């Protein structure tokens, strides 16, 4: 039986030059053989070969960046907008009150840059409370549901590396107030890493391929595979607010953003911030041949100043719009895309990936030695009908925790400073005095905006000690 299995696997692998992954088969116990066999059978070996070939002939970003135009957007200070922010807010509120809005939160990946051993969502970020990213984002959903008087179900994506701990953590914390019935946790898929020179699959262990999460774009297939699309359909949800776990400033289900999306009959809307410098480390939302696309900073930043600093005839920069990874999707669009199946392309990233050498010794490279394949959800932008771009003020809505302390940007310290600055401004606008240098934090269940703070605090309040409003 085992011999037949080995032969079957071997002939499958040999056809594409990958039989080396069975090098330690004879040493493995039956359950380990089963595990390796399962991983191999799940692979689309022809696809991996084709992706490796394509990876060696990458997209011509210089050409795309030269053709790119600044995206048309609902900009913050544009008085000529087709709809005002007030109109958008009213429409968004009505949308929320219709009970047809859900949330997709992606909390998979590996959080390598931050360098923590637990899911990023468990990272403590509240500057006074020490609340985790999960607590802040889930409480924001609870608060929004409460204020619009409707349930807002959450579809939470994990990765194999974050799944079990996330489930246990949320259970232990009673989902931070979100009803169990309103929370669906689903795990994204994986892709194998391959050697960057040869395209050969890498072994992480004698019975395990080196696998990594398939990118936030894996959400589409994972939503379908885990029955979330049917659940969305059954509940009659029409609009899905999408965000990432690493941004504690996200304005959850932002009514203005949702309103622009609804008023524009958009299938996919994306929120952007005006970049501080043209080489900021955020994706660049642009229009190419009349379609919205995102050029990753890692691709743009390899290009010359002449391209990166291109300007429109009115003198404004082409690459001004930084991607916040906050979107609104129409449920029907997601369903259509999931049915189209593997609509999203894979992107390649060169990374340092540990692997077993021929002798079965673990090699831990210091430099990128492998290629990982990832899908990005924003590749749906050019396919969506009426995709729109809405600008938000970075100081109020975007502070991603990406890097470990010490990095110049997007670190826990810089994010906490931004949270304190925003919450201080809300308190001051409500007539409170906050002593300079005093850390204040407003919990989502206390208030989610300057206006809500003004309704809850007493004008004249003086804050001289760190304080958490909850
Ligand atoms: P990042 O691209 O910043 O990746 O993800 P990361 O895994 O958090 O961190 P690095 O790059 O390894 O340092 C942005 C968001 O997308 C989610 C992450 O949880 C984060 O919220 N994500 C990323 C996934 O859910 N799955 C993935 O495969 C990748």
Q: Which of 109, 112, 403 to mutate to test the pocket of ligand 1 (most atoms within 8 A of CB)?
A: 109
pLDDT of residue 466: 98
Position 309 scores a pLDDT of 96
Instruction: Return the closest-CA partner of residue 357 out of 203, 185, 240, 141.
Output: 203
Residue range 81-120, pLDDT digits in tens: 889 999 999 999 999 999 999 999 999 987 888 988 999 9
DSSP string, 142-196: HHHHHHHTS---EEEEE-TTTHHHHHHHHHHTGGGG--GGGEEEEE--EEE-EET
Tokens representing 305 are 């100043």
Structure confidence at residue 4 (pLDDT) = 72
Q: Where are the domains of the chain?
A: 1-42, 58-401, 403-470
The helix-helix angle for 85-97 and 255-263 (nearest 10°) equals 90
Whole-number pLDDT of residue 341: 58
Residue 272 belongs to what H/E stretch?
A: strand 268-274
**In the chain, which stretches have pLDDT less than 50?**
none
Q: Which atom in ligand 1 lies closest to the alpha carbon of residue 245?
A: 21
User: Is 217 close to ligand 1, i.e. is its CB under 6 Å away?
Assistant: no
Distance from Cα 66 to the centre of ligand 1, integer Å:
28
Q: Cα of 245 to ligand 1 centre, how many Å?
A: 8
- What CA–CA distance (Å, rounded) separates 347 from 71? 23
In short, whether 246's Cβ falls inside 6 Å of ligand 1 is: yes
Spatial CA neighbour of 330 closest among 102, 67, 90, 158: 102
**Ligand 1 proximity of 113 Cβ (cutoff 6 Å):** yes
Look at the block and give the residue holding tokens 């002593």. 435
User: Which residue's alpha carbon is nearest to atom 8 within ligand 1?
Assistant: 111
Question: 189 CA distance to ligand 1 centroid (A)?
Answer: 13
User: Is the beta carbon of 223 within 6 A of some atom in ligand 1?
Assistant: no
Nearest protein CA to atom 5 of ligand 1, as residue: 109
Whose Cα sits closest to atom 19 in ligand 1?
107
Q: Are 434 and 404 in contact (CB under 8 A)?
A: no
pLDDT of residue 354: 95
Q: Which of 222, 228, 215, 241 is nearest to 184 (CA)?
A: 228
Return the CATH number of the domain spanning residue range 58-401.
3.90.550.10
User: Which pLDDT does position 343 carry in this prediction?
Assistant: 67
Distance of CA 112 from the midpoint of ligand 1 (Å): 9
pLDDT of residue 5: 85
Residue 402 beta carbon below 6 angstroms from any ligand 1 atom: yes
Closest CA relative to residue 40, chosen from 290, 211, 156: 211
375 lines ligand 1 (CB under 6 A): no
């Amino acid at each position: 039986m085992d011999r037949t299995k080995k032969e079957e696997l071997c002939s499958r692998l040999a056809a594409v030059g990958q039989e080396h992954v069975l090098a330690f088969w004879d040493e493995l116990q039956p359950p380990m053989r089963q595990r390796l066999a399962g991983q191999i059978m799940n692979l689309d070996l022809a696809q991996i070969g084709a992706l490796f070939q394509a990876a060696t002939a990458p997209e011509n970003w210089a050409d795309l960046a030269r053709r790119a135009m600044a995206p048309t957007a609902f900009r913050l200070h544009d008085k000529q907008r087709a709809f005002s922010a007030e109109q958008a807010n009213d429409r968004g509120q009505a949308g929320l009150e219709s009970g047809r809005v859900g949330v997709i939160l992606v909390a998979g990946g590996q959080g390598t840059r931050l360098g923590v051993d637990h899911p990023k969502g468990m990272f403590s970020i509240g500057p006074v409370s020490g609340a985790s990213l999960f607590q802040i984002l889930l409480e924001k959903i609870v608060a929004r549901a409460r204020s619009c008087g409707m349930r807002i179900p959450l579809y939470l994506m994990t990765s194999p590396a974050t799944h079990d701990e996330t489930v246990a953590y949320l259970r232990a914390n009673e989902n931070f107030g979100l009803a169990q019935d309103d929370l669906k946790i689903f795990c994204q898929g994986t892709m194998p890493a391959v050697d960057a020179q040869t395209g050969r699959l890498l072994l992480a262990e004698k019975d395990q391929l080196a696998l990594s999460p398939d990118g936030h774009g894996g959400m589409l297939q994972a939503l379908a595979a885990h029955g979330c699309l049917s659940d969305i359909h059954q509940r009659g949800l029409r609009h899905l607010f999408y965000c990432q776990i690493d941004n504690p400033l996200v304005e959850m289900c932002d009514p203005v953003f949702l309103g622009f999306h609804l008023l524009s009959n958009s299938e996919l809307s994306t929120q952007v911030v005006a970049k501080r410098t043209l080489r900021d480390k955020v994706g660049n939302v642009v229009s190419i041949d009349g379609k919205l696309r995102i050029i990753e900073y890692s691709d743009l930043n390899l290009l010359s100043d002449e391209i990166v600093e291109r300007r429109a005839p009115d003198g404004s920069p082409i690459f001004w719009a930084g991607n916040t990874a906050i979107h609104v999707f129409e449920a029907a669009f997601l369903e259509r895309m999931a049915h189209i199946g593997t609509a999203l392309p894979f992107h390649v990233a060169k990374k340092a990936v540990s692997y077993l050498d021929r002798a079965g010794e673990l090699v831990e490279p210091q430099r990128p030695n492998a290629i990982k394949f990832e899908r990005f959800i924003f590749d749906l932008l050019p396919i969506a009908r009426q995709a729109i771009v809405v600008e938000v003020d970075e100081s109020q809505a975007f502070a991603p925790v990406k890097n470990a302390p010490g990095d110049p940007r997007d670190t826990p310290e810089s994010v906490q400073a931004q949270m304190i600055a925003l919450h201080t401004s809300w308190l001051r606008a409500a007539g409170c005095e906050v002593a300079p240098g005093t850390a204040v934090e407003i919990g989502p269940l206390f208030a989610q905006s300057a206006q809500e703070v003004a309704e809850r605090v007493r004008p004249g309040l003086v804050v001289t000690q760190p304080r958490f409003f909850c």
